[in-house]
Structure 1
Amino acid sequence: MDLNSINRVYFIGIGGIGMSAIARFFNEKGVHVSGYDRTETPLTKQLSAEGMHIHYTDDINLLDPQTSLVVYTPAIPVTHAELNWYREKGFEVVKRSDVLREITRELFAITVGGTHGKTTVSTMIAHLLTHSGYGCNAFLGGISVNYDKNFWSSNKPVAVIEADEYDRSFLKLNPDIAVLTAMDADHLDIYGTESDMQDAFIQYTHNIKPNGTLLARFGLPRAHELKADNKLVYSLQNDAANIYAANIRMIHGGYEFDVIQQDWMIDNVHLHIGGMHNVENAVVAVAVAHLLGIDAAKIRAALADFKGIKRRFEYVIKSDHQVYIDDYAHHPEELRALITSAKALFPGKTCTVIFQPHLYSRTRDLVEGFAESLSLADQVILLPIYPARELPIEGITSDIIAAKIKNTDVLQLSKEEVLEWLKANTAPLLITAGAGDIDQLKEPIKEILNGKPPKEQLT
Structure 2
Amino acid sequence: MMQTKKYFFIGIKGSGMSALAMVVHDLGYQVAGSDIDQYTFTQKNLEAAGIPIYSFDPANIRSGWTYIAGNAFQDDHPEIKAAHELGAEVIRYHDFLGQLMGQYTSIGVAGTHGKTSTTGLLAHVLSGVDKTAYLIGDGTGKGEADAKFFVFEADEYRRHFLAYHPDYVIMTNVDFDHPDYYHDLADVFSAFEQEARQTAKGIFAWGDDPSLRKLQATAPIYYYGLQDDDDFQAINLKESPAGSEFDVRYHDQIIGHFVIHLYGQHSILNSLAVIGVSYLEGLAMDEVAAELLTFAGVKRRFAEKHFGQVTVIDDYAHHPSEIRATIDSARQKYPERQLVVVFQPHTYSRTQALMPGFAASLDLADQVYLTEIFGSAREQQGQVSSADLGALIKHGGEVLHLDQMQTLLQYSDAVVVFMGAGDIQKYETVYEDLLKN
Aligned letter for 2:48?
A
TM-score by length of 2: 0.94
The alpha-carbon distance between structure 1 residues 269 and 441, as it changes in their structure 2 partners (threshold 3 A), is: farther
1:74–1:167: 8 Å Cα contact kept in structure 2?
A: no
Q: How many residues align?
A: 435
Asked if residue 434 in structure 1 is aligned to residue 420 in structure 2, the reply is yes
Paired residue for 1:298, among 284, 287, 295? 287
Q: Structure 1, residues 266-317: CA drift from partner, whole Å, max 9, x if none?
A: 4441111222211111111111111111111111110001111121122323
1:161 paired to 2:157: no
CA–CA distance in 2 between the matches of 1:318 and 1:163? 36
Aligned equivalent of 2:401, options 410, 414, 435: 414
Select between 374-383 and 69-78 the one with higher mean Cα deviation. Answer: 69-78
Residue 354 of structure 1, aligned match among 315, 319, 342: 342
Name the structure 2 match of 1:54: 53
Q: Distance in 1 between matches of 2:164 and 2:397?
A: 43
Shift of 1:318: 9.2
Q: Greater shift after overlay, 27-36 or 75-84?
A: 75-84
Shift in alpha-carbon separation, 1:218–1:364, aligned structure 2, 3 A: same
1:10 and 1:64 in contact (8 A); partners too: no
Residue from 88, 97, 102 that aligns with 1:105: 102
Partners of 2:237 and 2:113 lie apart in 1 by 22
Q: 2:136 aligns with which of 108, 133, 140?
A: 140
* Secondary structure of the corresponding residue to residue 170 of structure 1: helix
C-alpha change, 1:8 and 1:152, in structure 2 (3 Å) is closer
The equivalent residue for 1:19 is 17
CA shift, 1:60, in A, is 1.5
Contact 2:241-2:334 within 8 A present in 1 as well: no
In the TM superposition, what whole-angstrom CA distance separates every residue of 1:143-182 from its partner, at most 9, and x where no partner exists?
A: 5xxxxx3335362232011101112110111111111111
Query: Counterpart amino acid of 1:75?
Result: A
Q: In the TM superposition, what is the alpha-carbon distance from 1:264 to its structure 2 partner? A: 3.6
Q: Does 1:86 align with 2:91?
A: no
Instruction: Return the alpha-carbon distance in structure 1 between the equivalents of residues 324 and 41 of structure 2.
Output: 30
- Structure 1 residues 430 and 266 mapped into 2: Cα distance closer, same or farther (>3 Å)? farther
1:396 aligns with 2:388: no
After TM superposition, the structure 1 = structure 2 runs for residues 326-345 of structure 1, keeping only pairs within 5 Å, are: 326-345=314-333
Q: Which residue of 2 aligns with 1:207?
A: 198
Equivalent pair of 2:374/2:423 in contact (CA under 8 Å): yes
Once the two structures are TM-superposed, the CA of residue 359 in structure 1 deviates from its matched residue by 0.9
Shift of 1:436: 0.8
* 1:226 corresponds to which of 212, 216, 224: 216
One-letter amino acid matched to 1:89: L
Q: Call closer, same or farther: CA 1:268–1:45 in 2, change over 3 Å.
A: closer
Q: Distance in 2 between matches of 1:447 and 1:170?
A: 40
Question: Structure 1 length normalisation: TM-score?
Answer: 0.89
How much does 1:444 deviate?
4.7
| Identity value in percent | 32
Structure 2 letter corresponding to 1:66: G
Contact 1:216 1:231 in 2 (8 A): yes
Q: 1:230 to 1:402 in 2, by over 3 A?
A: same
Q: Give the Cα separation in 2 of the matches to 1:410 and 1:417.
A: 14
Q: Partner of 1:75 in structure 2?
A: 72
Alpha-carbon distance between aligned partners in 1 of 2:166 and 2:429, rounded to the nearest angstrom: 39
CA distance in 1, matches of 2:390, 2:258: 40
| Structure 2: gaps of 5 or more residues | none
The 3 A distance-change label for structure 1 pair 25 and 64 is farther
Partner of 2:120: 123
Q: Report the CA distance between 1:249 and its aligned residue.
A: 1.6
Q: Distance in 2 between the 1:164 and 1:410 partners?
A: 31
Q: Distance in 1 between matches of 2:45 and 2:271?
A: 29
Summarize the Cα distance change of 1:317–1:381 in structure 2 as closer, same or farther, 3 Å threshold: same
Q: Which residue of the partner structure matches residue 251 of structure 1?
A: 240
Cα distance between partner residues in 2 of 1:64 and 1:417: 47
SS of equivalent residue, structure 2 residue 100:
helix
What is the aligned counterpart of 2:7 among 3, 9, 19?
9
Measured at CA, do residues 64 and 88 of structure 1 come closer, stay the same or move farther in structure 2, by a change above 3 Å?
closer
Deviations 1:57-90 (A, max 9, x none): x3212333321x1111121245421111112222
Larger mean Cα displacement after TM superposition, 309-318 or 171-180 = 309-318
8 Å CA contact retained: 2:248, 2:255:
yes
- 2:166 aligned partner: 175
The corresponding residue for 2:355 is 367
Change (3 A) 1:315 1:248: farther
Q: Deviations over 1:249-275 (max 9, x none)?
A: 223341122122125424441111222
2:34, 2:433 → 1: CA distance?
33
SS in 2 for 1:330: coil
Q: What's 1:146 paired with?
A: none
Amino acid at match of 1:338: T
CA distance in 1, matches of 2:371, 2:281: 44
Question: What letter matches 1:161 in structure 2?
Answer: F
Amino acid at match of 2:401: S
Q: 1:183 to 1:48 in 2, by over 3 A?
A: same
Contact 1:273/1:313 (8 A) holds in 2: no
User: Which consecutive residues of structure 1, in runs of 5 or more, have no partner in the other structure?
Assistant: 144-148, 454-459
Contact 2:171 2:203 in 1 (8 A): yes
Structure 2 CA distance for aligned equivalents of residues 256 and 154 of structure 1 = 35
What's the counterpart of residue 189 of structure 1? Answer: 180
Match of 1:273 in 2: 262
CA contact 1:140–1:151 (8 Å) conserved in 2: no
> What residue identity is the alignment partner of 1:244?
Q
How many angstroms apart in 1 are the aligned matches of 2:74 and 2:401? 27
Secondary structure class of the residue paired with 1:338: helix
- The CA deviation at 1:415 is 3.1
Q: Distance in 1 between matches of 2:83 and 2:411?
A: 53
